[in-house]
Chains A and B, each alone.
Chain A
Protein backbone atom coordinates (compact mmCIF):
# COMPACT_ATOMS: atom_id res chain seq x y z
CA UNK A 1 0.00 0.00 0.00
CA UNK A 2 1.73 3.16 -1.21
CA UNK A 3 1.44 6.39 0.72
CA UNK A 4 1.48 9.74 -1.06
CA UNK A 5 1.61 13.10 0.69
CA UNK A 6 0.94 16.24 -1.36
CA UNK A 7 1.61 19.80 -0.21
CA UNK A 8 0.57 18.86 3.30
CA UNK A 9 0.39 21.58 5.96
CA UNK A 10 -0.94 21.34 9.48
CA UNK A 11 -1.75 24.32 11.68
CA UNK A 12 -2.85 23.89 15.28
CA UNK A 13 -5.69 26.15 16.45
CA UNK A 14 -5.82 28.15 13.19
CA UNK A 15 -7.17 31.72 13.22
CA UNK A 16 -6.69 32.04 16.97
CA UNK A 17 -4.03 33.79 19.02
CA UNK A 18 -2.60 30.33 19.71
CA UNK A 19 -2.15 29.48 16.04
CA UNK A 20 0.95 27.37 15.51
CA UNK A 21 2.27 25.75 12.34
CA UNK A 22 3.23 22.12 13.07
CA UNK A 23 4.73 21.56 9.62
CA UNK A 24 4.23 22.94 6.15
CA UNK A 25 4.24 22.06 2.49
CA UNK A 26 5.42 18.48 2.69
CA UNK A 27 5.31 16.42 -0.48
CA UNK A 28 6.65 12.88 -0.57
CA UNK A 29 5.82 9.26 -1.23
CA UNK A 30 6.47 6.11 0.74
CA UNK A 31 6.72 2.93 -1.30
CA UNK A 32 4.86 -0.12 -0.12
CA UNK A 33 7.12 -2.47 1.84
CA UNK A 34 9.86 0.06 2.55
CA UNK A 35 11.40 1.11 5.87
CA UNK A 36 11.37 4.88 6.33
CA UNK A 37 12.83 6.64 9.34
CA UNK A 38 11.97 10.23 10.22
CA UNK A 39 14.50 12.22 12.25
CA UNK A 40 14.50 15.79 13.47
CA UNK A 41 14.88 17.60 16.77
CA UNK A 42 12.04 17.95 19.28
CA UNK A 43 9.26 20.14 17.92
CA UNK A 44 10.26 19.72 14.27
CA UNK A 45 6.83 18.32 13.40
CA UNK A 46 7.56 14.57 13.21
CA UNK A 47 4.76 13.33 15.46
CA UNK A 48 2.18 15.66 13.92
CA UNK A 49 3.05 14.31 10.49
CA UNK A 50 2.71 10.68 11.66
CA UNK A 51 -0.74 11.38 13.03
CA UNK A 52 -2.00 12.27 9.55
CA UNK A 53 -1.22 8.82 8.23
CA UNK A 54 -4.12 7.20 10.06
CA UNK A 55 -6.40 10.19 10.29
CA UNK A 56 -5.80 11.16 13.91
CA UNK A 57 -5.10 14.66 12.62
CA UNK A 58 -6.69 16.19 9.50
CA UNK A 59 -4.79 18.21 6.92
CA UNK A 60 -5.11 21.99 7.17
CA UNK A 61 -3.98 22.17 3.56
CA UNK A 62 -2.97 19.51 1.05
CA UNK A 63 -3.75 15.82 1.03
CA UNK A 64 -2.71 12.38 2.21
CA UNK A 65 -3.38 9.29 0.11
CA UNK A 66 -3.01 5.93 1.82
CA UNK A 67 -3.82 3.09 -0.60
CA UNK A 68 -7.34 3.92 -1.82
CA UNK A 69 -8.14 6.27 1.06
CA UNK A 70 -7.79 10.01 0.53
CA UNK A 71 -7.67 12.62 3.28
CA UNK A 72 -8.16 16.13 1.94
CA UNK A 73 -8.29 19.43 3.78
CA UNK A 74 -11.82 20.65 4.35
CA UNK A 75 -13.69 17.47 3.51
CA UNK A 76 -14.81 14.61 5.71
CA UNK A 77 -13.11 11.31 5.05
CA UNK A 78 -15.43 8.34 4.99
CA UNK A 79 -14.51 5.11 6.65
CA UNK A 80 -11.60 6.21 8.85
CA UNK A 81 -11.98 2.92 10.71
CA UNK A 82 -10.84 0.96 7.66
CA UNK A 83 -7.84 3.29 7.35
CA UNK A 84 -6.92 2.81 10.99
CA UNK A 85 -7.07 -0.93 10.56
CA UNK A 86 -4.60 -0.74 7.66
CA UNK A 87 -2.25 1.65 9.43
CA UNK A 88 -1.25 0.38 12.87
CA UNK A 89 0.20 2.91 15.25
CA UNK A 90 2.58 2.11 18.09
CA UNK A 91 2.76 5.17 20.31
CA UNK A 92 5.63 6.09 22.65
CA UNK A 93 5.71 3.81 25.67
CA UNK A 94 2.89 1.61 24.29
CA UNK A 95 3.06 -0.59 27.40
CA UNK A 96 1.39 2.25 29.32
CA UNK A 97 -1.74 1.45 27.34
CA UNK A 98 -2.00 -2.18 28.43
CA UNK A 99 -5.06 -2.61 30.60
CA UNK A 100 -6.61 -6.07 30.39
CA UNK A 101 -6.38 -8.85 32.97
CA UNK A 102 -4.49 -11.20 30.70
CA UNK A 103 -2.08 -10.84 27.80
CA UNK A 104 -4.51 -12.75 25.56
CA UNK A 105 -7.43 -10.39 26.26
CA UNK A 106 -5.21 -7.39 25.72
CA UNK A 107 -4.04 -8.56 22.32
CA UNK A 108 -7.60 -9.54 21.32
CA UNK A 109 -8.99 -6.12 22.20
CA UNK A 110 -7.90 -4.45 18.93
CA UNK A 111 -9.21 -7.03 16.45
CA UNK A 112 -12.53 -7.37 18.33
CA UNK A 113 -12.92 -3.60 18.12
CA UNK A 114 -12.53 -3.87 14.37
CA UNK A 115 -15.39 -6.38 14.28
CA UNK A 116 -13.48 -9.66 14.18
CA UNK A 117 -15.10 -12.70 15.88
CA UNK A 118 -13.79 -13.84 19.26
CA UNK A 119 -12.62 -17.07 17.70
CA UNK A 120 -10.64 -15.28 15.00
CA UNK A 121 -9.25 -12.74 17.48
CA UNK A 122 -7.96 -15.60 19.62
CA UNK A 123 -6.26 -17.16 16.60
CA UNK A 124 -4.69 -13.82 15.67
CA UNK A 125 -3.47 -13.26 19.24
CA UNK A 126 -1.48 -16.50 19.01
CA UNK A 127 -0.08 -15.57 15.63
CA UNK A 128 0.90 -12.06 16.78
CA UNK A 129 2.56 -13.46 19.88
CA UNK A 130 4.68 -15.70 17.68
CA UNK A 131 5.69 -12.72 15.53
CA UNK A 132 6.98 -10.81 18.55
CA UNK A 133 8.82 -13.93 19.82
CA UNK A 134 6.90 -14.48 23.04
CA UNK A 135 5.93 -17.94 24.27
CA UNK A 136 2.25 -18.95 24.35
CA UNK A 137 2.61 -19.49 28.08
CA UNK A 138 2.38 -15.72 28.67
CA UNK A 139 -1.17 -15.61 27.23
CA UNK A 140 -2.78 -16.31 30.62
CA UNK A 141 -0.48 -14.03 32.57
CA UNK A 142 -1.28 -10.51 33.63
CA UNK A 143 0.59 -8.11 31.32
CA UNK A 144 1.74 -6.28 34.44
CA UNK A 145 3.77 -9.26 35.63
CA UNK A 146 6.04 -9.07 32.59
CA UNK A 147 9.35 -7.24 32.17
CA UNK A 148 9.45 -3.84 30.46
CA UNK A 149 10.70 -5.28 27.17
CA UNK A 150 8.10 -8.06 27.21
CA UNK A 151 5.28 -5.60 27.98
CA UNK A 152 6.29 -3.52 25.02
CA UNK A 153 6.22 -6.59 22.79
CA UNK A 154 2.73 -7.48 24.03
CA UNK A 155 1.57 -3.95 23.17
CA UNK A 156 3.07 -4.30 19.68
CA UNK A 157 1.40 -7.72 19.29
CA UNK A 158 -1.92 -5.99 20.03
CA UNK A 159 -1.35 -3.72 17.03
CA UNK A 160 -0.14 -6.59 14.81
CA UNK A 161 -3.27 -8.60 15.64
CA UNK A 162 -5.34 -6.04 13.73
CA UNK A 163 -3.29 -7.14 10.69
CA UNK A 164 -2.11 -3.73 9.48
CA UNK A 165 -0.18 -3.22 6.26
CA UNK A 166 1.66 -0.17 7.56
CA UNK A 167 3.28 0.03 10.97
CA UNK A 168 3.99 3.45 12.49
CA UNK A 169 6.46 3.55 15.35
CA UNK A 170 7.03 6.60 17.53
CA UNK A 171 10.37 6.20 19.33
CA UNK A 172 9.90 2.47 19.81
CA UNK A 173 13.12 1.82 21.75
CA UNK A 174 12.98 4.66 24.30
CA UNK A 175 13.64 3.42 27.83
CA UNK A 176 14.65 -0.13 26.87
CA UNK A 177 17.85 -1.74 28.08
CA UNK A 178 20.46 -2.63 25.43
CA UNK A 179 19.22 -6.20 24.95
CA UNK A 180 15.55 -5.15 24.79
CA UNK A 181 16.55 -2.45 22.33
CA UNK A 182 18.31 -4.88 20.00
CA UNK A 183 15.51 -7.45 20.15
CA UNK A 184 12.79 -4.96 19.37
CA UNK A 185 14.68 -3.49 16.40
CA UNK A 186 15.26 -7.01 15.05
CA UNK A 187 11.52 -7.57 15.36
CA UNK A 188 10.71 -4.55 13.18
CA UNK A 189 13.26 -5.57 10.55
CA UNK A 190 11.70 -9.04 10.44
CA UNK A 191 8.18 -7.63 10.09
CA UNK A 192 9.43 -5.41 7.29
CA UNK A 193 11.54 -7.95 5.38
CA UNK A 194 9.60 -11.16 5.96
CA UNK A 195 6.02 -10.03 6.47
CA UNK A 196 6.28 -7.20 3.98
CA UNK A 197 4.95 -4.50 6.31
CA UNK A 198 5.73 -0.90 5.46
CA UNK A 199 7.50 0.55 8.51
CA UNK A 200 7.61 4.26 9.31
CA UNK A 201 9.64 5.05 12.41
CA UNK A 202 10.43 8.22 14.32
CA UNK A 203 13.59 8.05 16.42
CA UNK A 204 16.31 10.13 18.06
CA UNK A 205 18.74 7.24 17.73
CA UNK A 206 20.99 7.89 14.72
CA UNK A 207 22.44 4.36 14.85
CA UNK A 208 19.02 2.77 14.40
CA UNK A 209 18.15 5.25 11.67
CA UNK A 210 21.37 4.47 9.78
CA UNK A 211 21.36 0.70 10.26
CA UNK A 212 17.79 -0.26 9.52
CA UNK A 213 16.16 2.18 7.12
CA UNK A 214 15.87 2.14 3.34
CA UNK A 215 15.39 5.89 3.47
CA UNK A 216 15.68 8.64 6.07
CA UNK A 217 13.60 11.78 6.03
CA UNK A 218 14.95 14.76 7.96
CA UNK A 219 12.61 17.41 9.35
CA UNK A 220 13.60 20.84 10.58
CA UNK A 221 11.27 23.57 11.81
CA UNK A 222 8.24 21.96 10.21
CA UNK A 223 9.82 21.38 6.83
CA UNK A 224 11.19 18.33 5.10
CA UNK A 225 14.83 19.18 4.37
CA UNK A 226 16.21 15.85 3.13
CA UNK A 227 14.82 12.47 2.12
CA UNK A 228 17.39 9.98 0.89
CA UNK A 229 19.27 6.76 1.58
CA UNK A 230 21.10 6.71 4.95
CA UNK A 231 24.59 6.86 3.43
CA UNK A 232 23.63 10.01 1.53
CA UNK A 233 21.87 11.66 4.48
CA UNK A 234 24.86 11.33 6.81
CA UNK A 235 27.39 12.37 4.18
CA UNK A 236 27.05 16.05 4.98
CA UNK A 237 28.47 16.00 8.49
CA UNK A 238 28.33 19.77 9.02
CA UNK A 239 24.72 20.03 7.93
CA UNK A 240 23.58 17.31 10.35
CA UNK A 241 25.40 19.08 13.17
CA UNK A 242 23.69 22.38 12.34
CA UNK A 243 20.33 20.59 12.53
CA UNK A 244 21.28 19.39 16.02
CA UNK A 245 21.15 15.77 14.93
CA UNK A 246 24.60 14.28 15.13
CA UNK A 247 25.86 11.15 13.43
CA UNK A 248 25.80 7.41 13.94
CA UNK A 249 28.57 6.35 16.33
CA UNK A 250 30.61 4.73 13.57
CA UNK A 251 30.73 7.92 11.52
CA UNK A 252 31.33 10.07 14.56
CA UNK A 253 34.38 7.95 15.26
CA UNK A 254 35.68 8.18 11.66
CA UNK A 255 35.17 11.91 11.85
CA UNK A 256 37.27 12.35 15.02
CA UNK A 257 39.91 9.99 13.64
CA UNK A 258 40.17 12.12 10.48
CA UNK A 259 40.50 15.31 12.50
CA UNK A 260 43.26 13.89 14.67
CA UNK A 261 45.30 12.22 11.93
CA UNK A 262 44.56 14.84 9.26
CA UNK A 263 43.83 11.95 6.93
CA UNK A 264 40.51 11.28 5.25
CA UNK A 265 38.88 8.32 6.97
CA UNK A 266 35.33 9.54 6.45
CA UNK A 267 32.94 7.07 4.82
CA UNK A 268 29.25 6.37 5.17
CA UNK A 269 29.62 3.16 7.16
CA UNK A 270 27.27 2.09 9.90
CA UNK A 271 28.28 -1.36 11.08
CA UNK A 272 31.16 -1.75 13.50
CA UNK A 273 32.79 -4.49 11.47
CA UNK A 274 32.72 -2.53 8.19
CA UNK A 275 34.13 0.49 9.98
CA UNK A 276 36.98 -1.55 11.47
CA UNK A 277 37.74 -3.11 8.06
CA UNK A 278 37.80 0.35 6.46
CA UNK A 279 40.23 1.74 9.06
CA UNK A 280 42.46 -1.35 8.89
CA UNK A 281 42.65 -1.15 5.10
CA UNK A 282 43.46 2.54 5.21
CA UNK A 283 46.34 1.93 7.66
CA UNK A 284 47.71 -0.90 5.50
CA UNK A 285 47.71 1.30 2.40
CA UNK A 286 49.69 3.91 4.29
CA UNK A 287 52.26 1.32 5.27
CA UNK A 288 52.62 0.17 1.66
CA UNK A 289 53.12 3.72 0.52
CA UNK A 290 55.95 4.39 2.96
Chain B
Protein backbone atom coordinates (compact mmCIF):
# COMPACT_ATOMS: atom_id res chain seq x y z
CA UNK B 1 0.00 0.00 0.00
CA UNK B 2 1.44 3.36 -0.88
CA UNK B 3 1.26 5.52 2.16
CA UNK B 4 -0.30 8.84 1.44
CA UNK B 5 -1.29 10.78 4.55
CA UNK B 6 -4.91 11.84 4.71
CA UNK B 7 -4.97 13.13 8.29
CA UNK B 8 -1.94 14.58 10.04
CA UNK B 9 -1.99 15.17 13.78
CA UNK B 10 0.87 17.33 15.08
CA UNK B 11 1.60 17.61 18.80
CA UNK B 12 -2.03 17.90 19.74
CA UNK B 13 -3.07 18.75 23.28
CA UNK B 14 -6.67 18.96 24.41
CA UNK B 15 -8.51 19.40 27.70
CA UNK B 16 -12.22 19.81 28.41
CA UNK B 17 -11.72 22.54 30.97
CA UNK B 18 -9.17 25.28 30.41
CA UNK B 19 -8.09 25.23 34.04
CA UNK B 20 -8.04 21.46 34.35
CA UNK B 21 -4.71 19.87 35.14
CA UNK B 22 -5.44 16.60 33.42
CA UNK B 23 -5.28 16.69 29.67
CA UNK B 24 -7.62 14.43 27.70
CA UNK B 25 -5.04 14.37 24.90
CA UNK B 26 -1.37 14.99 25.50
CA UNK B 27 1.02 15.59 22.69
CA UNK B 28 -0.51 13.32 20.09
CA UNK B 29 1.54 12.75 16.98
CA UNK B 30 -0.14 10.63 14.34
CA UNK B 31 -0.54 10.06 10.63
CA UNK B 32 -3.58 8.40 9.11
CA UNK B 33 -3.07 6.97 5.65
CA UNK B 34 -5.44 7.09 2.73
CA UNK B 35 -7.44 3.89 2.27
CA UNK B 36 -6.37 2.16 5.47
CA UNK B 37 -8.53 0.65 8.23
CA UNK B 38 -7.22 2.00 11.51
CA UNK B 39 -8.49 0.66 14.84
CA UNK B 40 -8.15 2.78 17.95
CA UNK B 41 -8.41 0.87 21.20
CA UNK B 42 -7.90 1.71 24.86
CA UNK B 43 -9.84 1.57 28.12
CA UNK B 44 -12.78 3.83 28.98
CA UNK B 45 -11.48 7.35 29.44
CA UNK B 46 -8.21 6.83 27.57
CA UNK B 47 -8.96 9.61 25.07
CA UNK B 48 -10.08 7.62 22.00
CA UNK B 49 -13.36 9.39 21.39
CA UNK B 50 -11.87 12.78 22.18
CA UNK B 51 -9.23 12.22 19.53
CA UNK B 52 -11.82 11.09 17.00
CA UNK B 53 -13.90 14.22 17.62
CA UNK B 54 -10.84 16.31 16.79
CA UNK B 55 -10.51 14.68 13.36
CA UNK B 56 -13.52 16.54 12.04
CA UNK B 57 -13.34 19.59 14.26
CA UNK B 58 -16.15 18.71 16.66
CA UNK B 59 -13.50 19.49 19.26
CA UNK B 60 -10.61 21.84 18.60
CA UNK B 61 -7.19 21.21 20.12
CA UNK B 62 -5.77 23.76 22.54
CA UNK B 63 -2.27 23.24 21.22
CA UNK B 64 -0.98 21.61 18.06
CA UNK B 65 -2.49 21.17 14.62
CA UNK B 66 -4.64 18.75 12.70
CA UNK B 67 -4.83 18.71 8.91
CA UNK B 68 -7.30 16.75 6.81
CA UNK B 69 -6.07 16.62 3.22
CA UNK B 70 -3.82 19.59 3.93
CA UNK B 71 -6.67 21.71 5.25
CA UNK B 72 -6.39 22.80 8.87
CA UNK B 73 -9.39 22.05 11.08
CA UNK B 74 -8.61 25.29 12.91
CA UNK B 75 -9.50 27.38 9.85
CA UNK B 76 -13.22 28.17 10.17
CA UNK B 77 -13.62 28.38 6.37
CA UNK B 78 -12.50 24.82 5.79
CA UNK B 79 -14.48 23.25 8.66
CA UNK B 80 -17.62 22.75 6.58
CA UNK B 81 -15.69 20.93 3.89
CA UNK B 82 -13.77 18.86 6.47
CA UNK B 83 -17.02 17.67 8.04
CA UNK B 84 -18.16 16.52 4.62
CA UNK B 85 -14.90 14.64 4.11
CA UNK B 86 -14.92 13.05 7.56
CA UNK B 87 -18.21 11.35 8.43
CA UNK B 88 -18.89 10.03 11.89
CA UNK B 89 -21.15 7.22 13.11
CA UNK B 90 -21.87 7.28 16.83
CA UNK B 91 -22.71 4.59 19.32
CA UNK B 92 -26.44 4.97 19.87
CA UNK B 93 -28.53 4.36 16.74
CA UNK B 94 -31.46 6.24 18.26
CA UNK B 95 -29.59 9.48 18.73
CA UNK B 96 -28.66 10.20 15.14
CA UNK B 97 -31.93 10.13 13.24
CA UNK B 98 -33.31 13.49 12.14
CA UNK B 99 -35.71 12.58 9.31
CA UNK B 100 -39.16 11.05 9.63
CA UNK B 101 -38.36 8.50 6.92
CA UNK B 102 -35.16 6.81 5.81
CA UNK B 103 -35.25 8.85 2.61
CA UNK B 104 -35.56 12.18 4.43
CA UNK B 105 -32.83 11.21 6.80
CA UNK B 106 -30.31 10.44 4.08
CA UNK B 107 -31.32 13.61 2.22
CA UNK B 108 -30.80 15.81 5.30
CA UNK B 109 -27.04 16.09 5.01
CA UNK B 110 -27.20 16.69 1.26
CA UNK B 111 -29.73 19.48 1.69
CA UNK B 112 -27.44 21.10 4.22
CA UNK B 113 -24.66 21.00 1.69
CA UNK B 114 -26.84 22.54 -1.02
CA UNK B 115 -26.70 19.62 -3.42
CA UNK B 116 -29.05 19.97 -6.38
CA UNK B 117 -32.23 17.92 -6.48
CA UNK B 118 -31.34 15.79 -9.51
CA UNK B 119 -27.96 14.94 -8.08
CA UNK B 120 -29.51 14.36 -4.66
CA UNK B 121 -31.92 11.75 -6.01
CA UNK B 122 -29.11 9.96 -7.80
CA UNK B 123 -26.94 9.87 -4.67
CA UNK B 124 -29.88 8.86 -2.47
CA UNK B 125 -30.35 5.73 -4.53
CA UNK B 126 -26.73 4.77 -4.70
CA UNK B 127 -26.10 5.48 -1.01
CA UNK B 128 -29.01 3.30 0.12
CA UNK B 129 -27.90 0.60 -2.28
CA UNK B 130 -24.38 0.68 -0.88
CA UNK B 131 -25.71 -0.11 2.60
CA UNK B 132 -28.36 -2.60 1.41
CA UNK B 133 -31.26 -0.47 2.59
CA UNK B 134 -32.94 0.52 -0.70
CA UNK B 135 -36.10 -1.41 0.17
CA UNK B 136 -36.53 0.68 3.30
CA UNK B 137 -36.53 4.07 1.57
CA UNK B 138 -40.02 5.01 2.86
CA UNK B 139 -39.70 3.32 6.26
CA UNK B 140 -40.02 5.19 9.52
CA UNK B 141 -36.94 5.05 11.73
CA UNK B 142 -38.65 3.40 14.71
CA UNK B 143 -39.53 0.41 12.56
CA UNK B 144 -35.88 -0.35 11.90
CA UNK B 145 -33.51 -2.47 13.97
CA UNK B 146 -30.37 -0.97 15.49
CA UNK B 147 -28.16 -2.36 12.74
CA UNK B 148 -30.46 -0.98 10.05
CA UNK B 149 -30.45 2.43 11.70
CA UNK B 150 -26.66 2.48 11.76
CA UNK B 151 -26.59 1.55 8.07
CA UNK B 152 -28.93 4.46 7.31
CA UNK B 153 -26.58 6.74 9.25
CA UNK B 154 -23.75 5.45 7.06
CA UNK B 155 -25.83 6.08 3.91
CA UNK B 156 -26.30 9.70 5.04
CA UNK B 157 -22.55 10.01 5.28
CA UNK B 158 -21.61 8.39 1.99
CA UNK B 159 -24.18 10.49 0.14
CA UNK B 160 -21.79 13.37 0.85
CA UNK B 161 -18.97 11.46 -0.85
CA UNK B 162 -16.56 11.52 2.09
CA UNK B 163 -12.99 10.25 2.19
CA UNK B 164 -13.05 9.05 5.77
CA UNK B 165 -15.61 7.31 7.98
CA UNK B 166 -15.16 7.23 11.74
CA UNK B 167 -16.99 4.53 13.68
CA UNK B 168 -17.17 5.59 17.32
CA UNK B 169 -18.19 2.30 18.96
CA UNK B 170 -20.84 2.21 16.28
CA UNK B 171 -21.59 -1.49 16.70
CA UNK B 172 -21.47 -1.80 20.48
CA UNK B 173 -25.24 -1.61 20.97
CA UNK B 174 -26.15 -3.98 18.15
CA UNK B 175 -27.11 -7.64 18.16
CA UNK B 176 -24.64 -10.07 16.52
CA UNK B 177 -26.35 -10.00 13.12
CA UNK B 178 -26.70 -6.21 13.11
CA UNK B 179 -23.06 -5.86 13.98
CA UNK B 180 -21.99 -8.19 11.19
CA UNK B 181 -24.14 -6.37 8.62
CA UNK B 182 -22.76 -2.95 9.57
CA UNK B 183 -19.14 -4.13 9.49
CA UNK B 184 -19.64 -5.86 6.15
CA UNK B 185 -21.03 -2.67 4.64
CA UNK B 186 -18.11 -0.62 5.94
CA UNK B 187 -15.57 -3.23 4.76
CA UNK B 188 -17.05 -3.03 1.29
CA UNK B 189 -16.83 0.77 1.27
CA UNK B 190 -13.22 0.49 2.41
CA UNK B 191 -12.25 -2.05 -0.27
CA UNK B 192 -14.33 -0.86 -3.21
CA UNK B 193 -14.44 2.90 -2.77
CA UNK B 194 -11.15 3.21 -0.93
CA UNK B 195 -12.77 5.07 1.95
CA UNK B 196 -10.44 5.37 4.93
CA UNK B 197 -11.94 3.84 8.07
CA UNK B 198 -11.11 4.81 11.64
CA UNK B 199 -12.80 2.48 14.08
CA UNK B 200 -12.90 3.13 17.80
CA UNK B 201 -13.80 -0.12 19.47
CA UNK B 202 -13.57 -2.35 22.53
CA UNK B 203 -14.00 -5.40 20.35
CA UNK B 204 -10.55 -6.93 20.01
CA UNK B 205 -11.61 -9.38 17.29
CA UNK B 206 -12.82 -6.49 15.16
CA UNK B 207 -9.64 -4.51 15.90
CA UNK B 208 -7.56 -7.57 14.95
CA UNK B 209 -8.77 -7.39 11.37
CA UNK B 210 -7.66 -3.76 10.96
CA UNK B 211 -4.63 -2.82 8.82
CA UNK B 212 -3.16 -0.90 11.70
CA UNK B 213 -3.97 -0.32 15.32
CA UNK B 214 -3.14 2.23 17.98
CA UNK B 215 -3.57 1.75 21.71
CA UNK B 216 -4.30 4.81 23.82
CA UNK B 217 -3.87 5.36 27.53
CA UNK B 218 -4.14 8.57 29.57
CA UNK B 219 -4.46 10.69 26.45
CA UNK B 220 -1.37 9.31 24.79
CA UNK B 221 -0.64 6.86 22.01
CA UNK B 222 1.08 3.97 23.82
CA UNK B 223 1.55 1.54 20.94
CA UNK B 224 1.13 1.63 17.21
CA UNK B 225 1.48 -1.05 14.57
CA UNK B 226 -0.08 -4.07 12.89
CA UNK B 227 -2.50 -5.88 15.22
CA UNK B 228 -0.61 -9.16 14.82
CA UNK B 229 2.62 -7.49 15.97
CA UNK B 230 0.99 -5.77 18.92
CA UNK B 231 -0.72 -8.89 20.22
CA UNK B 232 2.50 -10.87 19.78
CA UNK B 233 3.81 -9.01 22.83
CA UNK B 234 0.98 -9.28 25.32
CA UNK B 235 2.97 -7.89 28.26
CA UNK B 236 1.42 -4.75 29.67
CA UNK B 237 -1.85 -5.00 27.75
CA UNK B 238 -3.86 -5.87 30.83
CA UNK B 239 -2.50 -2.79 32.65
CA UNK B 240 -3.90 -0.78 29.73
CA UNK B 241 -7.38 -2.22 30.50
CA UNK B 242 -7.14 -4.56 27.54
CA UNK B 243 -7.07 -8.25 26.93
CA UNK B 244 -5.80 -10.58 24.22
CA UNK B 245 -8.04 -11.47 21.30
CA UNK B 246 -9.76 -14.85 21.49
CA UNK B 247 -7.58 -16.52 18.84
CA UNK B 248 -4.35 -15.58 20.59
CA UNK B 249 -5.64 -16.91 23.92
CA UNK B 250 -6.85 -20.13 22.32
CA UNK B 251 -3.53 -20.64 20.50
CA UNK B 252 -1.72 -20.32 23.83
CA UNK B 253 -4.11 -22.77 25.51
CA UNK B 254 -3.63 -25.28 22.67
CA UNK B 255 0.14 -25.09 23.10
CA UNK B 256 -0.29 -25.63 26.84
CA UNK B 257 -2.18 -28.80 25.98
CA UNK B 258 0.71 -30.03 23.91
CA UNK B 259 -0.41 -29.07 20.40
CA UNK B 260 2.64 -28.12 18.33
CA UNK B 261 1.73 -24.73 16.93
CA UNK B 262 3.81 -21.82 15.68
CA UNK B 263 3.24 -18.27 16.87
CA UNK B 264 2.18 -17.18 13.39
CA UNK B 265 -1.55 -17.87 13.43
CA UNK B 266 -3.37 -14.70 14.36
CA UNK B 267 -6.83 -14.75 12.85
CA UNK B 268 -9.29 -17.56 13.45
CA UNK B 269 -8.87 -18.65 9.85
CA UNK B 270 -5.09 -18.91 10.18
CA UNK B 271 -5.38 -20.98 13.34
CA UNK B 272 -7.92 -23.32 11.73
CA UNK B 273 -5.59 -23.72 8.73
CA UNK B 274 -2.61 -24.52 10.90
CA UNK B 275 -4.57 -27.15 12.85
CA UNK B 276 -5.82 -28.60 9.58
CA UNK B 277 -2.26 -28.91 8.26
CA UNK B 278 -1.29 -30.53 11.54
CA UNK B 279 -4.13 -33.04 11.44
CA UNK B 280 -3.55 -33.96 7.77
CA UNK B 281 0.11 -34.70 8.49
CA UNK B 282 -0.89 -37.28 11.06
Q: Which residues of B contact A176 (CB under 8 A)?
A: 44, 202
Q: Assess whether A42 is in contact with B278, with CB atoms less than 8 Å apart.
A: no
Q: Assess whether A41 is in contact with B253, with CB atoms less than 8 Å apart.
A: no
**Interface membership of B183, Cβ < 8 A:** no
**Interface membership of A54, Cβ < 8 A:** no
- Which positions 235-290 of chain A face chain B at CB distance < 8 Å? 244-246, 249-250, 252-253, 256-257, 260-261, 263, 272-273, 275-277, 279-280, 283-284, 286-287, 290
Please classify the interface of chain B as helix (H, G, I), strand (E, B), loop, or mixed, using the class held by over half of its residues.
helix
**Interface membership of A84, Cβ < 8 A:** no
Q: Assess whether A287 is in contact with B282, with CB atoms less than 8 Å apart.
A: yes
Q: Assess whether A279 is in contact with B276, with CB atoms less than 8 Å apart.
A: no
**Interface membership of A225, Cβ < 8 A:** no
Question: Interface residue tally of chain A, by bracket?
Answer: 35 or more
A177, B42: Cα distance in complex, Å: 7
**Digit string of B54-77 for contact with A (CB within 8 Å is 1, else 0)?**
000000000000000000000000
B side interface size, CB within 8 A = 46
Q: Which residue of A lies closest to B48 (CB)?
A: A177
Q: How far is the CB of B281 from chain A (nearest CB, A)?
A: 10
A177, B176: Cα distance in complex, Å: 18
Q: Assess whether B202 is in contact with A175, with CB atoms less than 8 Å apart.
A: yes
Q: Which residue of A lies closest to B239 (CB)?
A: A179
**Digit string of A178-222 for contact with B (CB within 8 Å is 1, else 0)?**
111110000000000000000000001010000000000000000
Q: Assess whether B254 is in contact with A280, with CB atoms less than 8 Å apart.
A: yes
**Interface membership of A82, Cβ < 8 A:** no
Choice from A41, A275, A290 contacting B177 with Cβ under 8 Å = A41
Q: How far is the CB of B236 from chain A (nearest CB, A)?
A: 13
Q: Which residue of A lies closest to B243 (CB)?
A: A178
Q: Assess whether A175 is in contact with B253, with CB atoms less than 8 Å apart.
A: no
Q: How far is the CB of B175 from chain A (nearest CB, A)?
A: 4
Q: How far is the CB of A14 from chain B (nearest CB, A)?
A: 18
Q: How far is the CB of B233 from chain A (nearest CB, A)?
A: 17
**Interface membership of B112, Cβ < 8 A:** no
Choice from B43, B145, B173 contacting A180 with Cβ under 8 Å = B43
Q: Which residue of B lies closest to A290 (CB)?
A: B282
Q: Assess whether A244 is in contact with B44, with CB atoms less than 8 Å apart.
A: no
A231, B175: Cα distance in complex, Å: 20
Interface centre among A180, A245, A249 (most CB of B within 10 A): A249
Q: How far is the CB of B97 from chain A (nearest CB, A)?
A: 15
- Which positions 113-157 of chain A face chain B at CB distance < 8 Å? 147-149
Q: Which residue of A lies closest to B269 (CB)?
A: A256
**Interface membership of A43, Cβ < 8 A:** yes
Q: Which residues of A contact B45 (CB under 8 A)?
A: 147-148
Choice from A178, A245, A249, A257 contacting B241 with Cβ under 8 Å = A178
Q: Assess whether A43 is in contact with B246, with CB atoms less than 8 Å apart.
A: no
Q: Which residue of B lies closest to A42 (CB)?
A: B145
Q: Which residues of A contact B172 (CB under 8 A)?
A: 174-175
Q: Which residues of A contact B242 (CB under 8 A)?
A: 177-179
Q: Which residue of A lies closest to B46 (CB)?
A: A177
Q: Can you sample 17 A-B contacts with CB below 8 Å?
A: A41-B177, A42-B146, A43-B145, A174-B172, A177-B42, A178-B241, A178-B243, A180-B43, A249-B246, A260-B276, A261-B275, A279-B259, A280-B259, A283-B279, A283-B282, A286-B282, A290-B282
A residues apposed to B, CB below 8 Å = 40-43, 92, 147-149, 171, 174-182, 204, 206, 244-246, 249-250, 252-253, 256-257, 260-261, 263, 272-273, 275-277, 279-280, 283-284, 286-287, 290
The 6 closest A-B pairs by CB, nearest first: A148-B44, A244-B177, A276-B253, A280-B257, A178-B243, A246-B176
